[in-house]
Structure 1
Amino acid sequence: MKDWAGTGRAYADSYAALCVGTAGFVLDELGEARGRSLLDVGSGTGSLSAAFAGAGWNVTGCEPEPTMREIAVQEHAGIPVVDGALPQLPFQDGVFDAVVANFVLNHVAEPRRAARELSRVSADVVVATVWTNSPTWLWREVCDRAGLSPSAGERLPPEQDFERTVDGFARMLDGAGWRGTRVSEITWTWSAGVEALWVSAEGGVGGAGQFYRALDESDRAAFRAAFDAVCSERTVDGRVPLEHSAAMAIRSRR
């Protein structure tokens, strides 16, 4: 799976703004907060946790990467962040009213086991998202322009993997015991700054960042030139509007 070690600052300055784009959709599904407890699993640098806290939830973050936790504590003081990772969370059964895993189940080695663990620590509702149209498409375009072969990325074994579609996500969760789950597709546009996009690549964030870091000096130069050309063509009013979509699953005990 992807190596997120040391990427906290780069992630905070780039993809954190993209991933928090699900906040409004998730909050609509969670209903009124009324001070109830919420666990944000894979909370990263804390942007989504902060959105939930701002809506009235009593939020705890859970994040295994220390550079992510460090920034979350610095930038979102008052929201506790625990060191923990799927598939074994350091919490008792049903201790949180709500549990959210935003773009987490697409990164774990055992997605069904991880989904069961999310359900275990929730007393009421669980919401999880996975990419159906991720940032990968932009970087493939950059690679094509640069004449580079994009990395195929690490795949799960067939018995663990699942189709990254609404139906595929639903089938995987059904296999994990999430009966009666509602799964739908959400779409939003991230108006990204060019510098933020480049920070993600240069900072080693995600598959594109790891691909870029593995290139030699000549190929890095070609990659950067292609990136500049693609962004120049896509820029509108100084920013690059990029449409993304995700499958969002909601399991409620109500």
Structure 2
Amino acid sequence: MSWAGTGEAFAASYAALCAGTGETMREIAGPARGRTLLDVGAGDGTLAAAWADAGWRVVATEPEPSMREVAGVGHPQLTILGDGLPHLSFGDRAFDVVTANFVLNHVSAPRVAAVELRRVARELVIATTWTASPTALWGDVIARAGLIPAPSGRLPADKDFERTAEGFAGMLADAGWHAEVTELTWTWHADPEALWRSVAGGVAGAGAFYLTLPDADRERFRSAFDALVAERADDGRIPMTQTAAIAVDRLD
């Protein structure tokens, strides 16, 4: 899946969803006390900025230029570098805490990437992944529109991991983590217009699929989306239950 050019569309839509784990992650890490933090795969910078506001000395990395551009505009106080997994240009144990929020579910070699996250952490490393798809709505839209969904795009069996808390823990154990994995469930009240902006902007699998459609199928897709919004919206927003696994490895 390519994220090229999706920075603005992501910032206007799924950035708010992905930030749903932020408070819990900061609680796990404890008070800043001047500690350093590396946020890997920082996207539009929302979470990195929240860590900085909480008193952490933050460095963020994001390999996608459009994401870095949006982050730089929205959070000019951040240091945002172009590093991306599986290779980070930092020394061993360079940061007190390292975070990767919904990153390992997008890389081509999750175990290799997880090893690298742990390598640059001194005290603590925290990573998250979805265990219930945050974009199940789009599967419903595709079915309502009578379209044939794209192949899942899963990794080869020797690279992939089961998208459950247990599967996430097992993959991380393969990478040398001694992780405690818990699940967090919350309801995201999504703005339908933001959701549409995400898919029209090519964000994630649904957006990539939409951009491949001919005009007639795009119209069917939009009509199905509008129908589902009319059925599901509550006070103008769509409640969507989300579940994420949060893995913590305490290195001290």
Name the TM-score, length of structure 2 as normaliser: 0.98
Which residue in 2 is equivalent to 1:134? 133
Q: C-alpha separation between the residues in 2 aligned to 1:151 and 1:87?
A: 27
Counterparts of residues 183-202 of structure 1 (less than 5 Å):
183-202=181-200
AA at the equivalent of 1:198: W
Aligned-residue RMSD, C-alpha: 0.8
1:35 Cα deviation from its structure 2 partner: 1.8
Counterpart-to-counterpart distance in 2, 1:52 and 1:241? 27
Distance 2:102 2:44 in 1: 13
Per-residue CA deviations over 1:108-160 (Å, capped at 9, x if unaligned) read 11111100000000011000001111223110011111111222321111111
Structure 2, unaligned stretches of length 5 or more? none
The one-letter code matched in structure 2 to 1:224 is R
Distance in 1 separating the partners of 2:34 and 2:84: 25
Would you identify which runs of 4 or more consecutive aligned residues in structure 1 move more than 6 Å?
Answer: none
Distance (whole Å) between structure 2 residues aligned to residue 41 and residue 134 of structure 1? 21
Structure 2 Cα separation of the partners of residues 134 and 47 of structure 1: 21
Partner Cα distance (1:194, 1:136) in 2: 13
Residue type matched to 1:118 in 2? Answer: L
Aligned residue number for residue 154 of structure 1: 153
Instruction: Name the structure 2 match of 1:118.
Output: 117
User: Aligned-pair distance for 1:25?
Assistant: 1.2
Deviation at 1:105, TM superposition (A): 0.3
Partner amino acid, structure 1, of 2:183: E
Between the two proteins, what is the percent identity of the paired residues?
A: 55
* Partner Cα distance (2:57, 2:240) in 1: 32
Shift in Å, 1:189:
1.3
Q: Counterpart of 1:67 in structure 2: which amino acid?
A: S
- Secondary structure of the 1:223 match is helix
Q: How does 1:20-169 map to 2 (within 5 A)?
A: 20-169=19-168
Q: Secondary structure at the match of 1:34?
A: coil
In 2, Cα distance between the equivalents of 1:151 and 1:131? Answer: 20
Q: Secondary structure at the match of 2:139?
A: helix
Matched, 1:6 2:8: no
Q: CA deviation at 1:56?
A: 1.4
- For 2:32 and 2:138, the matched residues in 1 are separated by 38
1:204 equivalent among 202, 205, 208: 202
Per-residue Cα deviation, 1:6-49 (whole angstroms, up to 9, x for no partner) = 00111111111110111011111111111211111000110011
Cα distance in 1, alignment partners of residues 190 and 2 from structure 2: 23
Aligned pair count reads 252
Whole-Å Cα distance in 1 between the matches of residues 169 and 5 of structure 2? 33
- State the one-letter code of the partner of 2:107: V
Q: Distance in 2 between matches of 1:171 and 1:32?
A: 29
Aligned counterpart for 1:231 among listed residues 216, 220, 229: 229
Q: Residues of 2 paired with 1:124 and 1:238: CA distance?
A: 43
